[in-house]
Amino acid sequence: MKKVIAKNQMVEVVMEEKPKIKENYLLIKTVYSVISPGTELTMIGISQDREVHLGYSAVGVVEEAGENVTGIKVGDRIACYGAPYVRHSEYLLVPKTLCSKVPDNVHTCEAALGGIGAIAIHGLRTAKLQFGEKVVVVGLGVIGQLIAQIAEAAAYEVYAYDLSRERTELLRQHSNVHCFTNTEELRTALQEGSPYPGADAVLLCAGGKHSNLTEESLKWIRDKGKVVIVGDIEPDFPRAGMFAKEAEILIARAGGPGRYDSVFEKDAIDYPYGYVRWTEGRNIGEYLRLVSEKKINVLPYVKEKVGLEQIESAYKGLINKNSPILTKIISYS
């Protein structure tokens, strides 16, 4: 089977043996996988003299189900998430805890964003907002876009910021999302119209090792507000700004509880539902519910499809951070 890797800062397609089924796993024939530019372009950049697998969010059709898998049968469409099990590959062997069945009315390419949707949902959960509170989403790549839409669906007051006007335009169809490309205008809007100025939380979905957004975000939150790091941004917060508001700095770890736990992932042993409500696997299912019920619209993000023969140019086309093309869908048909 074919798979996509990075080596020596180049993207290439190589051959690998098709995996064999395991008892707690699903063998999935991939239909689509999604390129996550923020993560994957970084991985390409550090792939010096070693082979790095790319990709972590995909959808496909069950070819075989392990003997301990229940509720899923051969032929079902499945959204799945999480490296190293999910990657850009023609076949995937995925633990059952990282999979969710796709509702009939959800298009297969929409379901391919399931892993990215889980990350967006967990980022928003990490903020621990209450009904009616105010949230700022900074960085409107695909994860930031999804967070803004999900926050609007949850009836939070949503402010979205990105330097790119093209990316803010993607959200303007959502009339209750206030979009900004200028930080001063954003800060002014957060101060006006309320006796309690400032945001309850800022979610940083941008990247950058030396970004001024960390310090800037402290100016946007209210007293005892929160800043949640979702993107690959260095947490360089000045003490004075944090102390003045007794700010809370949080970081969201990928798609939710279970991530990087070998018992949950490799052994495919789920957490008890009553104790851990929203695992990374259940967050995938929640993303699919939001799409199924038309609470969010992800079709503008999945218009660009490429085949494996176009894979190198596909990544090059995602380098431009101002482009309204936020991701590309790899098709294996």
Tens of pLDDT along 119-154?
999 999 999 999 999 999 999 999 999 999 999 999
288/307 Cα distance (integer angstroms): 25
Give the per-residue pLDDT at 234: 86
CATH 3.40.50.720 in the chain, residues?
120-251
C-alpha distances (whole Å) from 285 to each of 68, 117, 191 are: 20, 9, 37
CATH 3.40.50.720 is right for the domain spanning 120-251: yes
Lookup: tokens for 200: 């309850």
208/235 Cα distance (integer angstroms): 10
Q: What does residue 303 show for φ and ψ, rounded to 5 degrees?
A: -85, -25
Give the per-residue pLDDT at 308: 95
CATH 3.90.180.10 in the chain, residues?
2-113+257-331
Q: At what angle do helices 142-153 and 114-126 cross, to 10 degrees?
A: 60
In sign, the C-alpha dihedral spanning 327, 328, 332, 333 is positive
DSSP-derived letter for residue 310 is: G
CATH 3.40.50.1980 is right for the domain spanning 2-113+257-331: no
Give the per-residue pLDDT at 8: 93
Give the per-residue pLDDT at 73: 95
330, burial (CB in 10 Å: exposed 0-12, middle 13-18, buried 19+): buried
Structure-derived torsion over alpha carbons of residues 113, 117, 120, 123, reported in degrees to the nearest 10:
-130
* Residue 49 pLDDT level (bands cut at 50, 70, 90): confident
* Angle value at C-alpha 287, between 114 and 308, nearest 5 degrees: 15
Mean residue pLDDT across the chain: 95
Statement: residue 180 has pLDDT above 90: yes
Lookup: tokens for 38: 């923020």
Strand-pair partners of 218: none
* Residue 194 pLDDT level (bands cut at 50, 70, 90): confident
